[in-house]
Amino acid sequence: MAKKILRINMSELKAAYEPVPERWARWAGRGLTSHVIFDEVDPTCHPLGPHNKLVISPGWVSGSPAAPSSGRTSFGGKSPLTGGIKESNAGGLSSQMIAKLGLHAIIIEGQPPKGKWYLLIITKDGVKFEDASHLMGKGMYEVDEILWQSHPDTAVIGIGPAGEMKLSNAGISINDPENRPGRYAGRGGLGAVMGARGIKAIVVDDTGGPGVEIANQELFKQGRRKLTEAIQEHALTKKGGGLNAFGTAILINILNEAGGLPTRNFSAGQFEGAARISGEAMAEVIEERCKDGKGEGTTGHGCHPGCIIKCSNIYPNEDGSALVSCIEYETAWALGANCGVDDLDWIARMTRECNDAGLDTIEAGNALAVAMEGGVIQFGDGAAAMNLLSEVRKGTPLGRIIGQGAEATAKAFGVHRVPTCKGQSMPAYEPRAVKGIGVTYATSPMGADHTAGYTIAPEIAGVSGKLDPLSNEGKAELSLTFQAATAFIDSTGYCLFIAFPILDIAKGWEGMAESVAGVTGMNITGADVIPLGKEILKIERLFNERAGFTTANDRPPEFMRYEQLPPHNEVWTITDEQLDSVFAWVHEG
């Protein structure tokens, strides 16, 4: 059974299946969401107006049997935060269930009459449009619980109060296997795009679905085996390895040691409280509060079925009951070091508030830090930060400012140190101390985003060879290569963390490509990964150009050019010419 496009028109409350057009047949995940947005969305439209669309697509291998760590869903649209094209992806239950329904993508367009909100139920039989008034104003913990009472063991895609208010930092929640809302397509404000379509939540039930066809079973099994072995062999991704034992927050101490952990709104590269908010510290708290297997806290938690890396965690209350899942590295940094907060319990409470209200923790932490810089509250005051964050769900004027992100917050409070590119906040790696990731922040079509081209792998972790993070040499080329590889991985449905083993272990790279070829029947080898990734980057770049972006948008914040960053006392030294070279090829030939 060939996959189909499910097109949902919210203006008419109609849904229809369409064959996949030939121009989209090669793509899935990010590759598909970006192609649909490029083809069907006016780059000059208002992101919250009637002409934007929300596109949801599983990856090439999502839903296929035993493909390791293959549960990522791509969400695409024009971003309210950046004004450009956006793909944000997350784990959770949705990707595999959408794929098992035989859907290549879900395209949501139009807007219902003002004030009307809907719950969509997607099954093998089609789409039901149900009134969502009983869900309005509720946080995602309650929404997930309510919807599992009537639709158990389904994927729940939803928005919290931030998305209902269409705030630029609103994310899209996907529930995990325990029905927690901690998996977020957080970046870029796509929760506001979903809210602008009048959708509070989507339930995806794959019961009786046709499943995923495998074009070449032997090739798929061969590729799946190679990739699985590479993941299980690599020090960072194997069972008991760094990510499995300590989660992504293992990077807190590593980046702090490297002088690249942004502290107190990017005013320093080291945080004196880093050890207290690290992955190692989290593991100790979990072990202490959940002794002898009692309690719900754990490391080594999987965010979707079939994950074999299991880098997630469940952080417990003092009595061992679950408080929140998951505290990622980016979250521990954004709500911790960046705000001068060194208390894991406050970070956990703020994380839960973000998960419930529907906010990206990176943008939220940056907005809080900018507000601290502006004197609204003091750096290091976890209780005050929690109170300020809670204003967002209340919809107060102050809360709405914070909910619009760091750049809006800076304008409101007269702050010039604004760590954004294309309007989106920088994640937990200081560009003055890690130059390659700075190139990615500045040049990616997505705005400042570490996952767009994770040069941290060689610059900090020594994956695929160790590079000097303070050096400018070759960083433009490095960023482009990583951006292209990432665009491909984001199209597979695989977790981005497969990058560690596939970059160090040749059979892993081969296996990734072979598994995609096995599922799709396309002639793809490891040599095709970068060229295919560049095809995706090209259309994303062209969309942004048509939206009015120029090379002037591919720049870091001005303050980084003249403010020295302790402890290395580095400033941003990569030239504009080097930055412009990253995408110069787009208009060649």
| Segment 209-229, tens digit of pLDDT | 999 999 999 999 999 999 999
CATH number of the CATH domain containing 200? 3.60.9.10
Distance CA 561, CA 417 (A): 11
- pLDDT of 137-180, one tens digit each? 999 999 999 999 999 999 999 999 999 999 999 999 999 999 99
Mean pLDDT of 268-277: 98
Q: Is the pLDDT of residue 487 over 80?
A: yes
The predicted structure's pLDDT at residue 2: 76
Mean pLDDT of 524-542: 98
The count of structural domains within the chain is: 3
User: Domain for residue 519, yes or no?
Assistant: no
User: Domain for residue 516, yes or no?
Assistant: no
Helices (H), 260-343: 279-289, 329-334
Domain co-membership, 308 together with 190: no
Domain co-membership, 148 together with 37: yes
Q: Positive or negative CA dihedral for 246, 248, 249, 255?
A: positive
Q: What's the domain range around 90? A: 4-204
- pLDDT of 279-289, one tens digit each? 999 999 999 99
The predicted structure's pLDDT at residue 381: 98
The predicted structure's pLDDT at residue 569: 97
Domain co-membership, 467 together with 587: yes
Mean pLDDT of 84-100: 97
The mean pLDDT value of the chain amounts to: 97
Q: Is the pLDDT of residue 489 over 90?
A: yes
Domain co-membership, 424 together with 436: no
Domain co-membership, 436 together with 423: no
User: For the residues of 367-392, what is the DSSP string, one character each?
Assistant: HHHHHHHTTSS-TT-HHHHHHHHHHH
Distance CA 54, CA 542 (A): 19
Distance CA 510, CA 507 (A): 5
Distance CA 133, CA 503 (A): 48
Domain co-membership, 495 together with 374: no
CATH number of the CATH domain containing 422? 1.10.569.10
Q: Which of 32-36, 65-69, 392-396 has the lowest mean pLDDT?
A: 65-69
Domain co-membership, 272 together with 410: yes
Pairing of strands 103-109, 54-58: antiparallel
Domain co-membership, 407 together with 546: no
The predicted structure's pLDDT at residue 403: 98
The predicted structure's pLDDT at residue 586: 97
Using alpha carbons only, what angle is made at residue 48 by residues 44 and 51, rounded to the nearest 5 degrees? 55
Q: How confident is the model at residue 572 (pLDDT cuts 50, 70, 90)?
A: very high
Domain co-membership, 584 together with 539: yes
Q: Distances in Å between the alpha carbon of 542 and those of 34, 335, 536? A: 11, 34, 10
Domain co-membership, 482 together with 414: no
Please identify, among 376, 408, 430, the residue that sits at the C-terminal boundary of a domain.
430
Domain co-membership, 320 together with 416: yes
Domain co-membership, 443 together with 426: no
Pairing of strands 54-58, 73-78: antiparallel
- pLDDT of 299-323, one tens digit each? 999 999 999 999 999 999 999 999 9
Q: How confident is the model at residue 1 (pLDDT cuts 50, 70, 90)?
A: low
Please identify, among 204, 233, 264, the residue that sits at the C-terminal boundary of a domain.
204
CB atoms within 10 A of CB 482: 27
Nearest to 421 by CA among 181, 582, 220: 582
Residue 181, C-beta contacts closer than 8 angstroms, at least 6 positions apart: 140, 141, 143, 144, 156, 158, 173, 174, 175, 355, 356
Name the burial class of residue 168, with classes exposed (0-12), middle (13-18) and buried (19+) by CB atoms within 10 angstroms of its CB: buried
Mean pLDDT of 524-553: 98
Secondary structure of residue 203 in the 3-state scheme? strand
User: Domain for residue 329, yes or no?
Assistant: yes
Q: Is the pLDDT of residue 249 over 80?
A: yes
Mean pLDDT of 449-454: 96
Q: Is the pLDDT of residue 109 over 60?
A: yes
Mean pLDDT of 92-109: 98
